[in-house]
Amino acid sequence: MSLYSKATPAPGAAAFKGRHLLDLKDLTPAEVLQILAAAAEWKDRGSDPGLPQPLRGKTLGMIFTKSSTRTRVSFQAAVNQLGGQAIFLGTGELQLGRGETIADTARVLSRYLDGILIRTYDQREVEELAAHATIPIINGLTDQSHPTQALADLQTIHERFGRWQGLRLAYVGDGNNVAVSLMEAAAKVGMDFAAATPPGYEPDPARVASARADAAALGGRVTVCRDPFEAVREASVVYTDVWVSMGQEAEREARLRAFAPYQVNEALMAAARPDAIFMHCLPAHRGEEVAAAVIDGPRSAVFDQAENRLHVYKAILSLFV
Ligand code: CP
Ligand code: NVA
């Protein structure tokens, strides 16, 4: 099924080449659709050895200062399947760790590589890398956002429901990096987004305001409330993420107390639409943010979500790099 409405002209692939992918707010709605249409095409093609090889002769650097299973492995597999090579650069493997500046690192790596995927703590580091690089920089998660995850999540929702407009996505729990990018992604496709968070854990208010403006242009709504049951009412998608993100381990006890009423369990799922699906970016903690009966139950879409990372990353790599 086409991801396009007749009113939405697709931008040409050339519109992406060489650009950074730092945040969803930097993409137009038509560009989001273009990436997702390409992802659907890559998914249809599978992983046959006869795939087109748009990355032939190209090398992606992968800077990771945090752990990763899905992002690292699916990006690396995508690079390999598209004919390119990836160089993994973990903590301690670059002179960055010994005081070389991000700006110099960007200038030097731009002479060797064709693109860089980076996962780190501070979003400003990603922005500084991008400011000094002459190759595309892709944000593979920071403390503030996780845009490539949200693109794969949009693909999963469209596969299940055949549309985004008129659907409500309820995000329950921590208004963290995953929540912010999901909110921005929902706004770009006109899907209603409702977050329920404890006090002090709301998504960044400036980003909520900007997502609201994007959503309004497409007839969508962005709301933030306290009550998980209010958020999931009429929801087609119930989404949660960990209560303790990477780098927040010292806050674990306080967070477990604050989020205890926000577990996605069967009682909460029963308050959503009867055909509602459960989504989680993974890794998950059964018994904390989600009950095992939900994530391992028939409404769970979490492994389709994880798979779609591979297809969306092929789209991103073939368009941007
Ligand atoms: N969801 C996600 O980004 O998973 P990883 O941390 O394993 O990459
Ligand atoms: N919010 C989580 C997402 C992991 C993919 C974290 O930042 O640790």
> Each residue of 223-261: pLDDT tens digit?
999 999 999 999 999 999 999 999 999 999 999 999 999
Determine the atom of ligand 2 nearest the C-alpha atom of 149: 5
- One of 3.40.190.10, 3.40.50.720, 3.40.50.970, 3.40.50.1370 is the CATH number of 13-145+308-320, namely 3.40.50.1370
Determine the atom of ligand 2 nearest the C-alpha atom of 176: 1
Q: What is the reported pLDDT for 13?
A: 79
- One of 3.40.50.1370, 2.40.30.170, 3.30.230.10, 2.40.110.10 is the CATH number of 148-305, namely 3.40.50.1370
**Which long-range contacts link 307-311 to residues 24+ away (Cβ below 8 Å)?**
308/39, 308/43, 308/152, 308/153, 308/155, 308/156, 308/159, 309/70, 309/71, 309/74, 309/148, 309/149, 309/152, 310/74, 310/77, 310/78, 311/39, 311/40, 311/42, 311/43, 311/152, 311/155
- Domain limits of the chain? 13-145+308-320, 148-305
Please compute the mean of the pLDDT values over residues 278-287 and round it to a whole number. Answer: 98
Is the CB–ligand 2 distance for residue 150 below 6 Å?
no
Catalytic residue among 146, 168, 207, 280: 146
CA 84 / ligand 2 centre spacing (Å): 27
Determine the atom of ligand 2 nearest the C-alpha atom of 178: 1
Banded pLDDT at 12 (limits 50, 70, 90): confident
* Fold match between domain 13-145+308-320 and domain 148-305: yes
Would you state the structure tokens that stand for residue 6, as one six-digit string? 């007749």
Please compute the mean of the pLDDT values over residues 279-302 and round it to a whole number. Answer: 98
Q: Atom 6 of ligand 2 has which residue's CA nearest to it? A: 245
Does position 6 have pLDDT exceeding 60, yes or no?
Answer: no
Look up 158 and say whether it is catalytic. Answer: no
Look up 146 and say whether it is catalytic. Answer: yes
> Are residues 95 and 108 in contact, defined by beta-carbon separation less than 8 angstroms?
no
Catalytic residue among 241, 255, 280, 305: 241
